[in-house]
């Protein structure tokens, strides 16, 4: 018999305050740019037009809006907060906030707000400034080297705990500071909550094929760490996964006396994908944003992604994105890194005498 199970692969959305963290937060004192959102998560925010001659807000992918990783939730370190600043000027292709922008945020806005809320015994253990935090994160690497070069910028990831008591007042003080002259480019901040790679965490072993039981278990676990009174329910999305597996998904150990079965996986057929999409869109499948990916150069086997049009019934009902694929893709998609993508590979075929 087929093995069918449901899970929650990821969550993402917006909250109106860090007080959404029931047990407090651990904020990053020197955010590292590689922890920024680097892929398209199929959500948008309005941000200021990079063209300075056209002062307006334009819809943009989240990864293109100025942001940095702000904190992790205490008791659930797989859930992160990112802070977005739609009015902060940046280039067309956003990469990271500058050190000057981060210094202004921490030194003029965040740390003063922390000192206003918490007693002195807590802030005295926090960095005095962003530059102080950056130097602390780099100290082990810098001090242990005989020679420091500009290319050597490895740093530790350091975070500091702030208790749940005072987080709402902290956020109120931050919003008040942003309204002051000199800080208004930080106005209208958006607090984005995200959890990725939770497939195994939110499977429900007692009834894996019961979607309702899986959702109730997920809801119970999430309410232990998130205060949903601060969650923007109309901007909160859940990635629900359904897996269909063969009854024997892999071989047993070599030294086992149990007869082994050849490892198997199921592939999507093109006709089945089309039928599934026709059911989703009531026979009116959109022409754009439906991408088919062939499997191992087979004509009729592969996977597909579907991005629902903003005007569609599915999008209005809260479904933004869907994908159908086999786990065989993970052999060439290792942590979103694909083979033969290095642009310098073309030089390997050149005769050394031609270089």
* Average pLDDT over every residue of 74-88: 94
* Average pLDDT over every residue of 104-116: 97
Q: In whole numbers, what is the pLDDT of the chain averaged over residues?
A: 86
**Percent of residues, the chain, with pLDDT higher than 90:** 51
Q: pLDDT at residue 147 above 60?
A: no
Q: pLDDT at residue 148 above 60?
A: no
Asked if 3 contacts 249 with a C-beta cutoff of 8 angstroms, the reply is: yes
Q: pLDDT at residue 294 above 80?
A: yes
pLDDT recorded at residue 138: 81
Give Cα 241 to chain centroid, integer Å: 17
Q: Please count the CA atoms within 13 angstroms of the CA of 60 that sit on its side-chain side.
A: 23
Q: pLDDT at residue 111 above 50?
A: yes
Which band of pLDDT confidence, cut at 50, 70 and 90, is reported for residue 272? very high
| 352 vs 19: which has the higher pLDDT | 19
pLDDT recorded at residue 335: 66
What six digits make up the tokens of 118? 């918490």
Q: pLDDT at residue 66 above 80?
A: yes
What six digits make up the tokens of 12? 């993402």
Q: pLDDT at residue 142 above 70?
A: no
pLDDT recorded at residue 330: 74
Which band of pLDDT confidence, cut at 50, 70 and 90, is reported for residue 82? very high
Q: How many Cβ atoms sit within 10 Å of the Cβ of residue 101? A: 19
In whole angstroms, what is the distance from residue 206 CA to residue 115 CA?
A: 47
pLDDT recorded at residue 146: 46
Of the listed ranges 186-200, 243-257, 317-331, 333-347, the least confidently predicted one is: 243-257
Q: How many Cβ atoms sit within 10 Å of the Cβ of residue 274? A: 14
* Average pLDDT over every residue of 57-73: 92
pLDDT recorded at residue 351: 66
Of the listed ranges 110-119, 171-180, 195-204, 257-266, the least confidently predicted one is: 257-266
| Count of all residues that appear for the chain in the document | 355
* Average pLDDT over every residue of 78-95: 87
pLDDT recorded at residue 312: 86
HEC assignment per residue over the chain: CCEEEEEEEEEEEEECCHHHECCCEEEECCCCHHHCCCCCCCCEEEEECCCCCCCCEEEEEHHHCCEEEEEEECCEEEEEEEEECCCCCCCCCCCCCCHHHHHHHHHHHHHHHHHHHCCCCCHHHCCCCHHHHHHHHHHHHHHCCCCCCCCCCCCCCCEEEECCCCHHHHHHHHHHHHCCCCCHHHCCCEEEEEEECCCCCCCCCCCCCCHHHHHHHHHHHHHCCECHHHEEEEEEEEEEEEEEECCCCCCCCCCCCCCCCCCCCCCEEHHHHHHHHHHHCCCCCCCCCEEEEECCCCCCEEEEEEECCCCCHHHHCCCCEEEECCHHHHHCCECCECCCCCHHHHHHHCCHHHC
| 280 vs 346: which has the higher pLDDT | 280
* Average pLDDT over every residue of 224-242: 95
The residues, any chain, with a CB within 8 Å of residue 118's CB and separated by 6 or more, are 162, 166
In whole angstroms, what is the distance from residue 326 CA to residue 330 CA?
A: 8
Of the listed ranges 59-73, 109-123, 236-250, the least confidently predicted one is: 236-250
In whole angstroms, what is the distance from residue 28 CA to residue 39 CA?
A: 21
* Average pLDDT over every residue of 174-178: 97
Kindly report, residue by residue over 14-33, the tens digit of the pLDDT. 999 999 999 999 999 999 88
pLDDT recorded at residue 143: 53
Of the listed ranges 84-98, 206-220, 250-264, the least confidently predicted one is: 250-264
Kindly report, residue by residue over 182-231, the tens digit of the pLDDT. 999 999 999 999 999 899 999 888 888 899 999 999 999 999 999 999 99
pLDDT recorded at residue 280: 87
Query: Tokens 């942003």 — which residue?
Result: 178
The model's pTM is 0.84
pLDDT recorded at residue 74: 96
pLDDT recorded at residue 48: 83
Asked if 318 contacts 324 with a C-beta cutoff of 8 angstroms, the reply is: no
């Amino acid at each position: 018999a087929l093995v069918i199970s449901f899970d929650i692969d990821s969550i993402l959305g917006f909250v109106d305050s860090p007080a959404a963290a029931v047990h407090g937060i651990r904020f990053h004192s020197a955010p590292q740019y590689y922890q920024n959102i680097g892929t398209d998560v199929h959500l948008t925010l309005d941000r200021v037009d990079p063209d300075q001659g056209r002062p307006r807000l334009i819809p943009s992918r989240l990864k293109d809006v100025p942001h940095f990783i702000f904190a992790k939730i205490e008791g659930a370190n797989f859930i992160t907060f990112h802070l977005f600043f739609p009015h902060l000027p940046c280039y067309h292709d956003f990469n990271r906030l500058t050190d000057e922008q981060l210094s202004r945020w921490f030194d003029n806005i965040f740390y003063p707000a922390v000192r206003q809320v918490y007693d002195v015994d807590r802030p005295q253990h926090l960095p005095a400034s962003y530059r102080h935090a950056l130097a602390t994160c780099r100290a082990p690497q810098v001090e242990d080297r005989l020679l420091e070069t500009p290319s050597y910028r490895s740093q530790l990831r350091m975070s500091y705990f702030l208790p749940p008591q005072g987080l709402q007042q902290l956020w109120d003080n931050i919003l008040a500071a942003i309204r002051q002259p000199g800080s208004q480019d930080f106005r209208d901040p958006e607090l984005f909550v995200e959890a990725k790679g939770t497939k195994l965490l939110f499977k429900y072993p007692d009834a894996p094929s019961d979607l309702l039981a899986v959702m109730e278990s997920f809801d119970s676990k999430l309410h232990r760490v998130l205060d949903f009174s601060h969650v923007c329910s109309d901007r909160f999305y859940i990635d629900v996964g359904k897996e269909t597996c063969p009854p024997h998904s892999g071989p047993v150990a070599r030294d086992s006396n149990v007869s082994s079965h050849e490892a198997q996986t199921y592939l999507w057929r093109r006709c089945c994908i089309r039928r599934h999409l026709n059911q989703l869109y009531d026979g009116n499948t959109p022409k754009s944003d439906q991408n088919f990916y062939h499997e191992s150069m087979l004509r009729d086997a592969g996977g597909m992604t579907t991005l629902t049009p903003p005007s569609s019934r599915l999008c209005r009902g809260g479904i933004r994105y869907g994908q159908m694929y086999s786990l065989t893709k993970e052999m060439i998609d290792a942590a979103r890194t694909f083979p033969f993508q290095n642009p310098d590979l073309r030089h390997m075929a050149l005769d050394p005498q031609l270089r």
